[in-house]
Homo-oligomer: A and B are copies of this chain.
Amino acid sequence: MKVENIQSLKKILSDKGYKLTKARENTFSALLSPEPQSMATLIEKSQNKVDRVTMYRNIDLFEKLGIVNRIYVGWKYKLELSDNFMDHHHHLSCLSCGKVIDIEDEQHINEFIKSVTDKFSFTPRHHQFEIDGFCIVCSASKKK
């Protein structure tokens, strides 16, 4: 469900009976970024182009259409354009200082996902694997 440009966005929308509007084009533009972004950031980037409420509604729609992923980092969620068939985020998150460490390694994971989704006839869009705990620094220190 990767969106390459405005035309492919239009196709995805119209296939489901939705319209391509200026607000949706701008929503899409705001999403272009190498990093996942918070809702607040998207809203700010689109100041006086897209209304706050419309932004919420379109992000919801995009998510249902598989155009964007909502991922959790620490306590908050962020948004990003879907990229490949299966986007993913694997990280370690420190409960104390909030540091986030990204991890790679997919092999085991991919088999696991396939076996599970097949079992429920579930169509995966993206996945997220988070381990919460304490980083090497915070494991040692006493308070805070």
Report which A residues bind B (CB closer than 8 A).
16-17, 63-64, 66, 69-70, 72, 75, 77, 92, 94-96, 101, 103, 105, 108-109, 111-113, 115-117, 120-136, 139, 142-144
Q: How far is the CA of A22 from the CA of B124 in the complex (A)?
A: 46
Instruction: Say how far A143's CB is from chain B's closest CB, in angstroms.
Output: 6
- Return A124 CB to nearest CB of chain B, in Å: 4
With A116-B105, A143-B16 as given contacts, are A122 and B135 in contact (CB-CB < 8 Å)?
Answer: yes
- Which B residues are CB-close (under 8 A) to A136? 120-122
> Beyond the given A101-B122, A126-B132, could you list 17 further A-B residue pairs with CB under 8 A, ordered by the A residue number?
A16-B143, A17-B142, A63-B95, A64-B96, A66-B95, A75-B77, A92-B117, A95-B125, A101-B120, A109-B112, A124-B131, A124-B132, A125-B132, A126-B131, A127-B129, A127-B131, A129-B129
- In the complex, chain B residues whose CB is within 8 Å of the CB of A139: 121-123
Bound complex: CA A121 to CA B126 (Å)? 28
